[in-house]
Amino acid sequence: MQDYVSDLVPSLNLTTLNESFWKFYICTAVRKFIFFLDPLRRGKISIQTILLSPILTEMFELRENEMSRDYERTNWFSAYSSLRIYGQFLNLDLDRNGMLSRAELAGYSNGTLTGIFLDRVFQEYQTYNGQMDYKAFLDFVLAMENIQTPEAIAYCFRLLDIKGQKYLDEFTVGYFFKAVMEAMEATGVEMVDVADVTNEIFDMAHPADPDIISLQDLLDCGVGGTIVNILSDTRGFWNYDNREPGDGK
């Protein structure tokens, strides 16, 4: 994949990128293919899967000489996006060692993710001496920025499944949401009843078994990404709690 993307680079509209940045660009580009097309991390993706993927189409759109500013900001493969993400990594890397510690990653998204959720990222996904490299950071960003996709929900479900039981029970849901409430309370926001929100989450998930929520339940309910946000991100819960009437998401 790296060789393939490397061969494509000269044909893409990336004139604003310095050649010294290309290795980071290639890493960033390849990671999206891996995250979405090899979610089980088998280490291989069929050529047919790549050719039929909208991800390749998204990349080929950079062959156009011009693209709108708005589209450039949303296309993962644009120069703007790759520089934005790498810039995020550099800004978080306070000690400039090329890796992110748990404390450094806490600054992501203006610090709205709960400590418990971030702890789980470092427990479940590959780190080096307890620190996250750029590839792992790219996976994390892809999950956070595409939270409604099946691949992102599966990434986060592994973090929420603290007991390794392949499902979330009432205790687990309450455990994560309590951390969200404690973080919000520290900023002066009034607490809501954890049990009430836990019940609401089960109603949203429509689980096949009323006592547990499986990954498949989250994928099938249509609001799995919203549920993940409620359980991991103070801003995610605030957005949900202040949604427009009638907006289930």
Domains belonging to the chain, first-starting first, are: 2-92 (1.10.238), 105-249 (1.10.238.10)
With CA atoms as reference, report the closest residue to 144 among 93, 85, 91: 85
Q: Is this model's pTM higher than 0.95 or not? A: no
| pLDDT at residue 99 in the model | 96
What tokens appear for 64 in the block? 């156009």
For the four alpha carbons of 100, 101, 102 and 104, in that order, the dihedral sign comes to negative
14 vs 92: CA distance, rounded Å: 25
| pLDDT at residue 243 in the model | 82
102 vs 132: CA distance, rounded Å: 8
- Per-position pLDDT tens, the chain of length 249: 999 999 999 999 998 899 899 999 999 999 999 999 998 888 899 999 999 999 999 999 999 888 888 888 999 999 999 999 999 999 999 999 999 999 999 999 999 999 999 999 999 997 898 999 999 999 999 999 999 999 999 999 999 999 999 999 999 999 999 999 999 998 888 889 999 999 999 999 999 999 999 999 999 999 999 999 999 999 999 999 988 766 655
CA distances from 23 to 7, 12, 19, 30, 31 (A): 12, 15, 8, 11, 12
